[in-house]
Structure 1
Amino acid sequence: MKVILADDEIQVRRGLKMKANWEEEGFMIAGEASNGKEALQLVEEMKADVVITDVRMPVMDGIEFAGRCHREFPGVKVIVLSGYSDFDYVRSSLIEGVKDYLLKPVAPDELAGALRRVKEEIAAEKKKQLEADKMTRLVHTQLEEMKEQYILQLVKQDWTESAAERLHHFEMDFLANKENFVQFFTVELRSARYSVKELWLPFRMLCKEIAGTYEGACAFYDAGYASMIHFLQCSSDRNAFETSSMIKKVQTYAKKYLEAETVIGIGKQVSASELKTGYISALLAWSQSDPEEKSQVIDGTLHKEFYEFSPDLEKKAVNLIENGRMRECSMMIADLLNEAKTKSMLSFSFAAGRFLLLLESLAVKYDLDREQMNQTMWTCQQSIGELTSHEKVIEQLSDFAHSIIQRVNTVRSSPNGLSVVENVRRYIDQNFANEISLGTLADQFHINSAYLSELFKLHVGHTFSDYLAEVRMKHACALLKDRQLKVIDIAYLTGYSNSSYFSTVFKKHIGQTPAEYRKNAFNMAGGESR
């Protein structure tokens, strides 16, 4: 720790140097000053931790220095030296920022004791600061995960009425305007030297950092596509996209810092209301890459228009699968893809990719084995990318749909409805920030709402509304530890459109208002030391 000695008498400063084993105590004398003004300059230049200053000095005395230092450098600890005639007065003055008082001439043991007390206080403050920083990082990580999950939800599901508000609270207003244009590009990490697993975390952080330097851009991860990060950029001007710049950075930095190659598929520019189309077009472009361990960029913007995949078509497919109508589902897949094939090979691949995305959403909804699902997704995507395996793609999609139908039947036939309740609970855990009601969940999982209410209480031990509130409160407590988020923002991020009602529910479940909880959490984390 760095120490500044401030006294207008050089002999006093020399004496202080000799009266302590500074290095052994964990300190080093970084500079000397003959008055408070010089001491302030040294504190700033040397980034000092401690200043030992005399009371009586020319230009700026020790009392004025201590006050200025406390205001300008609140983390610096000040020890004041005083002669006998001033000592009682100075010690009783409660000067702001002063941590200890020593009587001149200073006894070595008293100086050592003061240094140790200051050292312990600094160590305690640093520990609290580390804990506070750790908490902030955890909250930031959770917020980033919520943001990624919401981007995926927008990409894979229908746009909801509350989308604009939630995008605002995630600081993604650029996506809220459906008239804006969006472009995706998909990045796969490949390496012959290291395993992708070893490089995954730094690669993911690198991509997020790059996306953060561009306006209207973000990076996100889709568990259905291993070793891949997806970029999204939004603009009100079709000609203002900086996709090529981002791609160049990704490939340059991946080679420079990770010694890895990247394969990138660039999607078509679409409106913000056509996120599914843009996302699939980027995946389709990527799927046409060579399997070699070399960096590649495949531009999907050169493709012709794709086969139209309407919302009504999706609803019909979902209805067939959830009602166990396998034969009709297989016929629909074959008819759909064969019709798309008559338009172009790329239309076939696009339609297959859209259907694969739909099947993935249903697999997640009914908790199909994650490893099985990811493997199936990857295999199907590889076949779609071959552009020549039409029958194989149709067969694989039909098999995937069949496995989901089997899972749906298992869930609905489980004893006492346990599997249904587990899926409902899982859905709540993942979508707590959305508008959720018992009725909508009952419709979604094809079960009577009153019966679902009874089953939920039986298996979970809480009513549906209490469980939903508890999940939301758990996330609200975490988000309240970030002081940059307003209470109204946290209310929206946890599924409440009214901050007053959110506060009422929070007080009921936690026993404190959001403001009280935040203040107590901040104090416990050492926030006051900042």
Structure 2
Amino acid sequence: MFEVLLVDDEALARNDVKGMLDWEKHGFTICGEAQNGAIALSMIEQNTPHIAIVDVSMPTMNGVELSRRIKEQFPMVKMIMLSSFDDFDYVRTCLMNGAMDYLLKHRLNASALLALLDRAVMELQSEAREHKARSVQTQIIESLSPVILREHVANLARNVEGAEESLLAYAKENDLYTHSVNYGTAAVQIVPFLLVTEMLNDVQKNRFVQQATDVMQMAIGDVQKRTVGYVGEGRFIILFSFEERSELAVTSQINQAVSALSHSLEKFLNLKCVCIIGPRSGSLKQLVASYRKADQEMNDILYQGMHPATLRDALIIEEKKQLLLYLEQLDGDRIRHTITTIFATVKHQPIYAMTVQTIVSELLRLIEMSLKRQFSHIAREDVQLVPTRNEFGRMSSVSEFEMWVLSYYARMVDIIKEQQAGGSYSRHIGKAVQYISDNYAANISLESTAGALNLNPSYLSRLFKEETQMTFTEYINRVRIKKSCMLMESDAYALKQISSEVGFLSYTYFFKVFKSITGMTPQAYIDHLKTSKK
């Protein structure tokens, strides 16, 4: 049994966690409870648990300080943090202090908790094996290195010149496959690899690949007989060797290993994968052909008949221009309609099709581009309420992708609106600014805005001038001119259409206001844009 310590200042929260699982059924037992970090530390000193589930926010000693003390004094204890959205900065510090991961209290459920507990057990067992291996080391250093073996196997899949001869020489040097008479390969593709790793730096991506490799290797067994090699871009090769002569037995074992691999990736890393088994072969020299067959079949499935090298962007230029424009206008309805229309074209495709993956990737890149161009003052920490890309790993349909992307865009639009309406404004003026941002294209006035906010027009006018240093009319005109400039940059509307789109009832008045604010006529501004793009 793995012992678990619960640390939370709320007894009700501790009871919720205790009642969430049949702990003993899953191999765990609650060894104690503490209402703050100081008590927890004392309990750990007397009876060190395997795992500690720790609330971030507590009196006397909070989870941040407790995680630091545990890391220093009891580094073998695995920590799982419980937090709310408001604790995000504390959570990051806890993760830096060695915590495995965190769970949001309002999303806490049995499956999420059990997944983290299982991951903790996997890490504990891995560390125990490493410790045992170190403790029984002899003076003889084995020449066989799993890392080198994996690289030789991966080079077969990468079609590196001389890879086959190098593997044969390495196998002979280390007495590998001496009694093997049957061989096989499999190609494995992590489905959401592009989406999950796109925003990671090289170090983070390498760590992600190593985690996936370790989980797969653990699932299939002895690295000397069943070797996982990383090919690139989320693609892996599995090399199988067997001493059994029965083709039926070999096929059965390969199928079982691939099934275990797929299950482990989903259980421990929340990742789905596609596995294709290559033809069985009778010698190492035939493995390249076996993998090529599996690799080609994988590409046919993922790319729907298109070669990866010739796959073009899934979004057409017009769709990109429309979405960027609607993002700049913060037009939620048009954004939702455009995204729904885009996804309707791929609803028939499987989730692992690269067209689907590329569409989602392009949509996410567009919103990043928009943020950098127009809202660079918004820090990434301000978007912490947006779900992380880790959720892609557990999705099983195109509809789930669509709902996630719609939620992402809607949340970003809300955040940007909140930022624009924020600053040092009072509550009333903040609401007025937000109202203008939402309704500038309509025929709004000081009176209609005051009515929408249940304020006296004279009071709103005076307060607006004091806080913005502009009259209501001056402010709304500046908003409309800014939006008109965005429409001009899109090169999708005529000038008279633009003046109407942003709320001016008269083109002549639009012309006058535009020149007053920008110092140039609308046409001169467009000519300037064209010149700057050359």
**Higher RCO, Cα 8 Å, sep 6+:** 1
Please say which structure displays the higher CA radius of gyration. 1
Q: How high is the TM-score relative to the length of structure 2?
A: 0.27
